Amino acid sequence: MKVTFWGTRGSLASAGPETVRYGGNTACVQVTGSDGTCIVLDAGTGIRRLGAALSRDLTRVDILLTHLHMDHIQGLGFFDPLFRPGLEVHIWGPPSATQDLRTRLSRYLSPPLFPIRLRDADSDVHFHNAPDVPVSIGGLEVCGAEIVHPGPTVGYRVRDGAATFAYLSDHEPALTGDLDRRDGTRWTSGADIAAGVDLLVHDVQYSPDERAERIGWGHSSSLEAAAFARLVGARRLAAFHHDPGHDDAAVDRIVAETAAAVPEIGVFGAREGETVHL
């Protein structure tokens, strides 16, 4: 399984010379299974370049949305494969008690916010609720779970043979309790889907100081993400959802803070364009 970062920024795209190393595009991560299965996690602005790079031979692509905040769906209308006749596009997202996924996405993908309607896509588009039990997508096994973030939000766990990967792009587990407790994870958001993964991609938006001012905004600090990774027993942690106000040097500092807190875990800052092999 291969994990490629196409967008690692949170909240708002932030292109510029000061973000060139970690990248300015918002959340989009591609997972390629050993059998060639392609799934895309989130449709932030990074999905535009991914769409241009996708093989024309592909017959199906699955887009798994964690939630419908703009930084996770803004690129959808610019995902060129959406307009490829014959391609099957499956869009998965968090369930809502009131409106289906297509209706909720159409609020953005329609005038006056967007010139083209979702129903005008030429590909064969299907909508699904994020699975809360493991399902097979090609050769990959995918499972979702609701996690703590404002509005219905899911995290995903992906398995390819023995390799496991979890993606919790926007997550504030500290809101529901102390992450340093050693008496288990019964009351920890996201604990089941992230348990023991080879790679955890997790929200590390803030330094501890910034975090103190933003309780309830749905994101984590370096130290909280580190504590969560330790609690669930992740082997590697990719710091993700970089704050749009942080330049590369600031992200470097936050990643270093995270790494220092959990020396036993391989911590790195997710960089646009980087591929990790699991």
- Interface residues with other proteins (CB under 8 A) are 94-97, 129, 132, 145-148, 152, 175-177, 184-189, 191-192, 195-196, 230-233, 235, 264
> According to the binding rule CB under 5 A, does residue 44 interact with Zn ion?
no
Kind of pairing between the strands at 236-240 and 199-203: parallel
Of positions 9, 49, 69, 202, contacts Zn ion by CB under 5 A: 69
Q: How far is the CB of 114 from other proteins (least distance, A)?
A: 27
Shortest reach from residue 15's CB to other proteins, in Å: 34
Shortest Cβ distance from residue 133 to Zn ion (Å)? 24
Sign of the alpha-carbon torsion through 64, 66, 68, 71: negative
Judging by beta carbons within 10 Å of its beta carbon (0-12, 13-18, 19+), is residue 133 exposed, middle or buried?
exposed
- For residue 148, the partner it binds in other proteins, Zn ion, none, with Cβ less than 5 to 8 A by kind, is other proteins
- Where does residue 222 rank: exposed (0-12), middle (13-18), buried (19+ CB within 10 A)? buried
Please choose, out of 50-58, 109-117, 118-126, 162-170, the segment that lies near Zn ion by the rule CB under 5 A.
162-170
For CA atoms 225, 146, 103, 28, give the dihedral sign: positive
**Contact indicator for 191, 185 with CB cutoff of 8 Å:** yes
Instruction: Give the residue with the Cβ less far from other proteins, 57 or 183.
Output: 183
Q: At how many degrees (to 10) do helices 248-261 and 222-232 cross?
A: 40
Q: Judge whether 210 and 250 are in contact, CB under 8 Å.
A: no
Q: Which is nearer to other proteins, 139 or 233 (CB)?
A: 233
Instruction: Confirm if 228 and 190 have CB atoms less than 8 A apart.
Output: yes
Cα separation, 218 vs 174, whole angstroms: 10
Q: Which is nearer to Zn ion, 73 or 143 (CB)?
A: 73
Q: Which is nearer to Zn ion, 67 or 159 (CB)?
A: 67
Smaller CB separation from other proteins, 186 or 277? 186
Helical residues (DSSP H) of the chain, grouped into ranges: 47-53, 70-73, 101-106, 191-194, 208-212, 222-232, 248-261
Task: Tell me the window of 70-78, 104-112, 229-237, 260-268 that interacts with Zn ion (CB under 5 A).
Answer: 70-78
Binding residues for Zn ion, rule CB under 5 A, total 4
Q: Nearest distance from residue 10's CB to other proteins, in Å? A: 21
Nearer Cβ to other proteins (135/175): 175
> Which of 71, 224, 243, 257 forms a contact with Zn ion (CB under 5 A)?
71
The percent of the chain in helix, strand and coil, each rounded to the nearest 5, is 25, 30, 50
Nearest-approach distance from CB 68 to other proteins, in angstroms: 14
Structure tokens at 237: 């942690």
Stretch near Zn ion under the rule CB under 5 A, chosen from 16-24, 48-56, 122-130, 169-177: 169-177
Q: What are the residues binding Zn ion (CB under 5 A)?
A: 10, 69, 71, 170
